Amino acid sequence: MSLTPQDIQAIILSLKVATAATLLSLPFGFAAAYLLVFTRIPGRAVLEGVVNLPLVLPPVVVGYLLLLLFGQSGSLGPVLRFFDLRIIFTLKGAVIASAVVGFPLLVRSIRIGMEGIDEQYLQAARTLGARWWDSLYSVILPLSGRAVLAGMTLMFARSLGEFGATIILAGNIPGITQTIPLAIYEYTNTPGGDSMALSLCLVSIGLSFLVLLVSEASARSFRRR
Amino acid sequence: MLFEVDVTKRVGNFSLRVDFSLAEKKCGIFGPSGSGKSTFMHILAGLLKPDRGRIVLDGQIHYDGEKKISLPPQERRIGVVFQHAHLFPHMNVRRNLFYGWKRTPPDQRRGTPEAIITVLGLEHLLERGVNSLSGGERQRVALGRTVLACPRLILMDEPLTGLDQELKFQIIPYLRTVLDQFEIPLLFISHSMEEIRLMTDEVLVFGQGRLQERLAVEDLARRGLVAGNRGYANLFHLPPPQPHDDLWAYRWGGTELILTEPGGEGENVFELGAKDITLFKQHPVATSARNLLACRVTDVFGEGNRIGVELACNGGSLISQVVPEAIRELDLRKGAEVVAVIKASAFHRLY
């Protein structure tokens, strides 16, 4: 098994994209889960639908919708031009694609954890003098910690494998937006690229396994505390 | 303390409408399940918004439907002890206890954590995780946590319901000591007559979402003798006993009671069923019962075949349950002199 410099680049890019997408989504995912579990805001059903949509849509459709949104002539085009930002065919695009596709997994996990928190813990906290953000920080966050971790793991793993939305929004540019799945795709389209594809597949399997191990270990340390 | 409440709340088919003002230190809320006690408690604590009305505690408006005022729970400073302690599972006992204390402005803190921890006997538990505590310990920690938040009033929502009899009576002295020592007014919600009698002086009786009645605890207890099959239990708060041959002698008012049960240091509380007091017209010549108390009848109440006779004997007061025939035969009326005969083994120790 040998990896070309281009393969190494793809691996690093994959890790970068997955990490960035997971970390960027985390606050939003936590907030969305909180809104869905602990509040009775109007439009809750709509929020729930929007959050879950990328889970049921084909990633290619998500990618195409994102292209319509972020493209030069897209709905956000003028705003992007104003700030001199380019999303499509850049690393940012790959991160956004991964973030959107992985988001429902993150929210789902956190939500399940939050639903397991007895509301009376919050009521107890409030009557003991905690403001709502205080109870969020001192009760909800620690009690849903494991679920947050599980959600992050799922999302990270999903981002490592993101293909459909990424190739449409960010393209397949070696060194810029070519992540592991895109590199594998390119190898399989190249005559004689099979063994190269296999090497990257092995790397991919190894990475996924590592993610699972790390998540198990940290969940265990969480439980011990 | 002056607590003025007048609120209305609809939840589905159930409607709650309560209007009262309260100055007593220890008040019970008594009623069957589904009578709105818990809903009411949530409204008082600020965890549930009433549809309209007014809640004022010592001049501070907690809720006013017309003026659109509704203080959040943390600003009301009303402590709540829940039925299931609801200790934070991710914190140890110490962090649970100090949760409220840390969030109380220093100028509003009363007492010291050390004093409260000592009174509740929690010193040896501080570093324990809350999941390893027994039911009684959990409830004591929950109480300590609430008291340490220095509330102006404590609501207890059936805090003893999940515990077995023995544990319950182990905790009641702690509850009483803490509340007396730190002078915190109490609203005690329960459907147990016994708990209400041991914890409070006055009761609000709830039924079907309404405040049906408000009366002294003693009057509510006496009603159990007349209506229903609950009967009436005399409660005795007795000092530590002296040995009396193989029995125990307790001072009670100006006289002495002979019991089979040994007592502990401090206050001992015994229960004696009204049915277990037999009345004699004259001092019996000889009897196996160990307690013969000369009494005067101060009241006769009840109806049908359940009659209560209130007796004054040398500084103490007793209630004996008899049947109408006995009233006629012994000619029991106000002022009559009788002898109350009680077996030493009839007393049941609560704590």
Amino acid at position A145, single letter: G
Query: What's the mean pLDDT when you consider all of chain A?
Result: 90
Q: Which of B226, B252, B284 delimits the end of a domain?
A: B226
Res A225 pLDDT > 70: no
**Predicted pLDDT at B272:** 92
Q: DSSP states of B84-120 as a string?
A: S----TTSBHHHHHHHHHHTS-GGG--S-HHHHHHHT
- Residue-wise pLDDT tens digits, B85-98: 899 999 999 999 99
Cβ–Cβ of A121/B72 closer than 8 Å? Answer: no
CB contact under 8 A, B73 and A123: yes
Q: Nearest-CA distance from A114 to chain B in Å?
A: 14
Phi, psi of B300 (to 5 degrees): -130, 125
Question: Number of folded domains in chain B?
Answer: 2
What Rg do the C-alpha atoms of chain B give, in angstroms? Answer: 23
The neighbouring-strand residues paired with B258 are B249
Following CA atoms B145, B149, B153, B154 in sequence, which dihedral angle do they give, to the nearest 10 degrees? -10
Is pLDDT larger for residue A69 or for residue A218?
Answer: A69
* Interface subset of B 38-57, CB within 8 angstroms of A: 42, 45-47
CB B305 within 8 A of CB B265: no
Residue B188 is predicted with a pLDDT of 92
- Residue A223's pLDDT band, with cuts at 50, 70 and 90, is low
Flag if A127 and B80 touch (Cβ within 8 Å): yes
Of B226, B258, B292, the last residue of a domain is: B226
Q: Which residues of A touch B73 (CB under 8 A)?
A: 123, 126-127
A43: left (phi over 0), alpha (psi -120 to 50) or beta: left
Domain containing residue B9: CATH number:
3.40.50.300
Q: What is the 3-state secondary structure (H, E, C) of chain A?
A: CCCCHHHHHHHHHHHHHHHHHHHHHHHHHHHHHHHHHHCCCCCHHHHHHHHHHHHHCCHHHHHHHHHHHHCCCCCCHHHHHHCCCCCCCCHHHHHHHHHHHHHHHHHHHHHHHHHCCCHHHHHHHHHCCCCHHHHHHHHHHHHCHHHHHHHHHHHHHHHHCCCHHHHHHCCCCCCCCCCHHHHHHHHHCCCCCHHHHHHHHHHHHHHHHHHHHHHHHHHHHHHHC
Nearest CA in chain A to B98: A128
Question: Tokens 């988001």 label which residue?
Answer: A103
Q: Could you tell me the pTM of the whole model?
A: 0.81
Confidence (pLDDT) at A152: 93
Same domain for B211 and B242, yes or no, is no
How far is the alpha carbon of A183 from chain B, nearest alpha carbon, in Å?
45
Task: Note the CATH number of domain A5-224.
Answer: 1.10.3720.10
Kindly state whether residues B87 and B121 are assigned to the same domain: yes
Rounded-to-10 torsion of CA B244, B247, B253, B255: -60
Instruction: State yes or no: pLDDT of A224 exceeds 60.
Output: no
Contact A128 B145 (CB under 8 A): yes
pLDDT of B175 reads 84
Query: What ipTM was estimated for this complex?
Result: 0.80
Q: Which of A127, A129, A139 sits opposite B45 (nearest CB)?
A: A127
At CB < 8 Å, which residues of chain A contact B? 118, 120-121, 123-132, 134, 138-139, 142-143, 225
Query: Looking at the structure, do residues B237 and B222 belong to the same domain, yes or no?
Result: no
Question: Is the CB of B104 inside 8 Å of chain A's CB atoms?
Answer: yes
Tens-digit pLDDT profile for residues B107-126: 888 888 998 898 888 999 99
pLDDT in tens, A12-62: 999 999 999 999 999 999 999 999 998 888 888 899 999 999 999 999 999
Instruction: Let me know whether B30 and B176 are in one domain.
Output: yes
Q: Is B140 helix (H, G, I), strand (E, B) or coil?
A: helix
* CB-based contact A74:A139 (threshold 8 Å): no
Domain map (residue ranges) of chain A: 5-224
Percent of all residues in chain A with a pLDDT value above 70, rounded to a whole number: 98
Question: pLDDT tens for residues B31-59?
Answer: 888 888 888 999 999 999 999 999 999 98
B171 and B263 share a domain?
no
B209, B154: one domain: yes
Residues B192 and B82 in one domain: yes
B176 and chain A: CB distance < 8 Å anywhere? no
Mutation choice for A interface testing from B47, B75, B130, B141 by most A CBs within 10 A:
B47
- How many helices (DSSP H) and strands (DSSP E) are in chain B? 9, 22
The verdict on a CB contact (< 8 Å) between B86 and A126 is no
Between A208 and B162, the more confident residue is: A208
B72 touches chain A (CB under 8 A): yes
pLDDT at B130 over 80: yes
Give the CATH number, domain containing residue B305: 2.40.50.100
Full domain range(s) for residue B320: 233-349
Q: Do B86 and A121 touch (CB under 8 A)?
A: yes
pLDDT at B128 > cutoff 60: yes
Is A130 close to B84, i.e. CB distance below 8 A? Answer: no
Q: Where among B203, B226, B249 does a domain terminate?
A: B226
Q: Flag whether pLDDT at B136 surpasses 90.
A: no
Same domain, B243 and B214: no
Residues B139 and B275 placed together within one structural domain of the fold: no
Give per-residue pLDDT as tens, A97-128: 999 999 999 999 999 999 999 988 999 999 99
Phi/psi at B245 (5° precision): 55, -125
C-beta atoms of B88 and A139 within 8 A: yes
Nearest-neighbour CA in chain B from A55: distance (Å): 32
Q: Identify which of A120, A129, A143 has the shortest CB distance to residue B86.
A: A120
